[in-house]
Amino acid sequence: MLRDLLSKTVRALDRNLLIALAALIVSGLTAASALYQTKMYSDQLSATVWPYLSFNVTESPSTIELTLENDGAGPAIIDGAEVLLDGKREPSMIAALKKMGLTSQGHRAWYTSIEPGQVIRPGASAMILKALVRNVAGRLGATYKRVDVNVYYCSLLNRCWSVRLHSTERPQEVTGTSYPHTSIGTE
């Protein structure tokens, strides 16, 4: 009798243990599925606000225009920018133009400032430089290649990228909270 009672108790425990393990497995799969769905939703939300900045350079025999265009789905929030001349950081675009001799008499340049906090809407562009360069048409292309511009920008969800003027690569995602900044427009 004791043996039968023990045998029934063990079978009941085995059944209860199997039911508990099955419930644990089902709840684990449910939790994993919920996490995966949350990640997918987050990725989809990110895609709806991704900015994609690119440089556009328009040259003619006497002018050059440099713009920064947002071809993405969301606004680009400028977090920093730097101007490099021959690989060395310059305090501004005007300083770089002066060192290249493009702000002397007979040369006119218009420029705008790209500053931290500035927003470039989707489909919009920001002019960085428009220069009318008389009597130096042959030097224009080579001169422009000496200047590099690097812009750091973020999406509304605080994912950030870096885009370079003379790079053939797409914008590179960056991490961190402090990006170099030199003024594009003013000294």
**Total domain count, the chain:** 2
Q: Which residue has the tokens 């001799």?
A: 101
pLDDT at 59 over 90: no
Q: Give me the chain's average pLDDT, please.
A: 81
35-to-24, 39, 45 alpha-carbon distances in Å: 17, 6, 15
Question: Is 68 in contact with 115 (CB distance < 8 Å)?
Answer: no
pTM for this structure? 0.72
Same domain for 19 and 91, yes or no, is no
Give the residue with greater pLDDT, 135 vs 177.
177
Q: What distance in Å separates the CA atoms of residue 68 and residue 56, rounded to the nearest whole number? A: 6
Maximum Cα–Cα distance across the chain: 114
Question: Is 53 in contact with 34 (CB distance < 8 Å)?
Answer: no
Same domain for 64 and 101, yes or no, is yes
Phi, psi of 101 (to 5 degrees): 75, 25
* Mean pLDDT to the nearest integer, 29-33: 91
Same domain for 1 and 39, yes or no, is yes
Structural domain of 80:
53-174
CATH number for 127: 2.60.40
Q: What distance in Å separates the CA atoms of residue 44 and residue 123, rounded to the nearest whole number? A: 20
pLDDT one-digit tens code per residue, 16-29: 777 888 888 899 99
Same domain for 20 and 39, yes or no, is yes
- Return the beta strands (E) in the chain as ranges: 53-59, 63-70, 76-85, 88-90, 107-111, 119-120, 125-133, 147-154, 160-164, 172-174
Same domain for 103 and 156, yes or no, is yes
Same domain for 95 and 157, yes or no, is yes
Same domain for 110 and 131, yes or no, is yes
**pLDDT score recorded for residue 183:** 59
Q: What distance in Å separates the CA atoms of residue 43 and residue 148, rounded to the nearest whole number? A: 32
Question: Is 175 in contact with 161 (CB distance < 8 Å)?
Answer: no
**pLDDT score recorded for residue 13:** 66
**pLDDT score recorded for residue 67:** 92
Same domain for 2 and 22, yes or no, is yes
* Mean pLDDT to the nearest integer, 42-58: 84
**pLDDT score recorded for residue 53:** 95
pLDDT one-digit tens code per residue, 110-143: 777 788 889 999 999 998 888 776 655 445 566 7
Q: What distance in Å separates the CA atoms of residue 148 and residue 146, rounded to the nearest whole number? A: 7
Give the residue with greater pLDDT, 162 vs 114.
162
